Amino acid sequence: NAGVTQTPKFQVLKTGQSMTLQCAQDMNHEYMSWYRQDPGMGLRLIHYSVGAGITDQGEVPNGYNVSRSTTEDFPLRLLSAAPSQTSVYFCASTSLGGVQSEQYFGPGTRLTVT
């Protein structure tokens, strides 16, 4: 299994540009989520999904959209990039039927908005 994969690893955007961060998992996990990680702060939840066709907002959803057309993929779209969105983004997945709490994280995408 490849686990959770994310692309790209690094991205630089100009203010106002849009882009999509890709996330895929091959573990047939129902639950997928996007977090951002900023210096001195814990991971903050942006959006999450409990299955194909179902998404919901997390703690910091403004400026981001998600969709879940398949179990495997959960892309994150930045509609109009702002410097405040400079961060490291992590995608994670877990099984809702699991007996423990483990989330599997991808390697992250480092985004800089100038």
Partner 1 sequence: GESVGLHLPTLSVQEGDNSIINCAYSNSASDYFIWYKQESGKGPQFIIDIRSNMDKRQGQRVTVLLNKTVKHLSLQIAATQPGDSAVYFCAEMRRTSGTYKYIFGTGTRLKVLA
Smallest separation (angstroms) from partner 1 to the CB of 45: 7
Smallest separation (angstroms) from partner 1 to the CB of 42: 4
Pick 27 or 105: Cβ nearer partner 1: 105
Pick 65 or 86: Cβ nearer partner 1: 86
- Strand ranges, E, within the chain: 4-7, 10-13, 19-25, 31-37, 44-51, 54-57, 64-66, 76-78, 87-94, 104-105, 109-113
First to last CA, the chain: 36
Interface with partner 1 (CB under 8 A): 4, 31, 33, 35, 37-45, 48, 50, 56, 88, 90, 92, 94, 96, 100-108
How are beta strands 10-13 and 109-113 bridged, if at all?
parallel
Pick 2 or 41: Cβ nearer partner 1: 41
